[in-house]
């Protein structure tokens, strides 16, 4: 290892369209369960948009959130209800009184529309998590969409090793139930819609919603264990793609290549990566950059499995990073031969993030 700074996974929680816990989502994705369905939103030509939404009945706190926060949007209220579920799961085994900072991964800011969460959302989030030992004053948010949780983990390393917070809760939530955002994406002809089969190779994606939370710690004694193994995360890597969805410059895949190289150098140099967990959502746009990044770091890969679970639970935006890490960790713990993973997230705009994780035996 080129760096001894690592974090351990101590707990995880998530809720997506295909399941209400990390274990359920991992099993459903492995069984290729899809929850794509027509929604109540329309494209500009009056076709129902295909989405992958969390059922209301899976969000017991949603009715209260709808009533308690009248100034928040429907999207934000659903993000709150989903966050309460996932964060509670992630800290289920946290038995300490010491408050834990939250590093929240939030939605991307899109050109010309108000797509980020409001200032009132953060206050409401801490209200919804008040049953947990949360250090609100030390908490922060990163609002860059799919790679946001990976950026938050970069900050978690700083908290754990430079500031002295041995435990950090990294979480992300997002929902595409936002009409201006759907209108923008529909204008780009990117959305799956009625009479357009999302699995037919068509160049479109199904908007989803989810929350994912990770309790990370620098204390190996706190690590989640299964079968005598635990999950270790190395320091992440980042890059910027000049040829993104809102740029006229050519898409060369150089941003993700840079993120891969930095992440691998942070702890996996010389190791063979057996699994890639990708934020790709079904659009052909994302295939090129993955091909470039894998080719340029080919010596670190040996015919890896590429997982893109958005094909089952839809594009989950800012929840992507935490959910993918949670799923990769399940694979690392339960399938010991698949013990080396690279997880990455690519924003619609320039930002790219990647992180490596592995399972290792716990010394007796």
DSSP reduced 3-state for 105 = strand
One fold for 7-222 and 228-361: yes
Contacting residues for 292 by C-beta, under 8 A, at least 6 apart = 252, 253, 254, 256, 257
Q: Where are the domains of the chain?
A: 7-222, 228-361
- CATH annotation of 228-361: 3.40.47.10
DSSP reduced 3-state for 130 = coil
Written as tens digits, the pLDDT of the chain (364 aa) is: 345 799 999 999 999 999 999 999 999 999 999 999 999 999 999 999 999 999 999 999 999 999 999 999 999 999 999 999 999 999 999 988 899 999 999 999 999 999 999 999 999 999 999 999 999 999 999 999 999 999 999 999 999 999 999 999 999 999 999 999 999 999 999 999 987 554 555 689 999 999 999 999 999 999 999 999 999 999 999 999 998 888 788 888 899 999 999 999 987 877 899 999 999 999 999 999 999 999 999 999 989 999 999 999 999 999 999 999 999 999 999 997 878 999 999 999 999 999 999 999 998 6
294-313: string of b/e by CB count within 10 Å (b at 16+)? bebbeebbeebeebbbbbbb
Helix, strand, coil fractions of the chain, as percent rounded to 5: 35, 25, 40
- CATH annotation of 7-222: 3.40.47.10
DSSP reduced 3-state for 285 = helix
């Amino acid at each position: 290892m080129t760096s001894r700074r690592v974090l351990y996974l101590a707990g995880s929680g998530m809720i997506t369209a295909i399941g209400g816990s990390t274990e359920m989502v991992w099993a459903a994705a492995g069984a290729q369960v899809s929850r794509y369905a027509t929604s109540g939103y329309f494209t500009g030509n009056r076709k129902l948009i295909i989405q992958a939404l969390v059922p209301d009945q899976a969000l017991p706190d949603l009715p209260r959130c709808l009533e308690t926060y009248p100034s928040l949007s429907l999207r934000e209220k659903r993000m709150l209800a989903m966050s309460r579920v996932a964060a509670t799961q992630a800290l289920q085994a946290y038995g300490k009184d010491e408050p834990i900072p939250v590093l929240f991964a939030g939605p991307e800011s899109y050109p010309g529309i108000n797509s980020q969460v409001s200032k009132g959302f953060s206050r409401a989030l801490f209200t919804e998590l008040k049953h947990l030992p949360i250090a609100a004053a030390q908490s922060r948010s990163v609002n860059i969409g799919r790679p946001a949780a990976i950026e938050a983990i970069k900050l978690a390393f700083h908290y754990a090793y430079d500031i002295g917070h041995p435990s950090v809760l990294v979480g992300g939530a997002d929902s595409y139930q936002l009409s201006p955002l759907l209108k923008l994406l529909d204008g780009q002809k990117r959305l799956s819609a009625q009479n357009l089969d999302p699995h037919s190779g068509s160049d479109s994606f199904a908007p989803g919603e989810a929350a994912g939370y990770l309790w990370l710690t620098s204390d190996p004694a706190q690590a989640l264990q299964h079968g005598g193994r635990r999950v270790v995360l190395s320091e992440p890597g980042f890059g910027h793609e000049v040829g993104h969805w809102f740029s006229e410059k050519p898409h060369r895949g150089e941003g993700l290549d840079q993120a891969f190289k930095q992440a691998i150098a942070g702890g996996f140099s010389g190791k063979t990566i057996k699994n890639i967990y990708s934020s790709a959502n079904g659009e052909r746009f994302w295939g090129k950059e993955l091909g470039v990044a894998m080719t340029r770091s080919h010596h670190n890969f040996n015919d890896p499995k590429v997982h893109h679970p958005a094909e089952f639970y839809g594009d989950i935006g800012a929840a992507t990073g935490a959910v993918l890490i949670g799923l990769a960790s399940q694979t690392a713990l339960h399938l010991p031969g698949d013990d080396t993973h690279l997880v990455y997230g690519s924003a619609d705009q320039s930002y790219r993030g990647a992180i490596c994780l592995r399972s290792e035996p716990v010394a007796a």
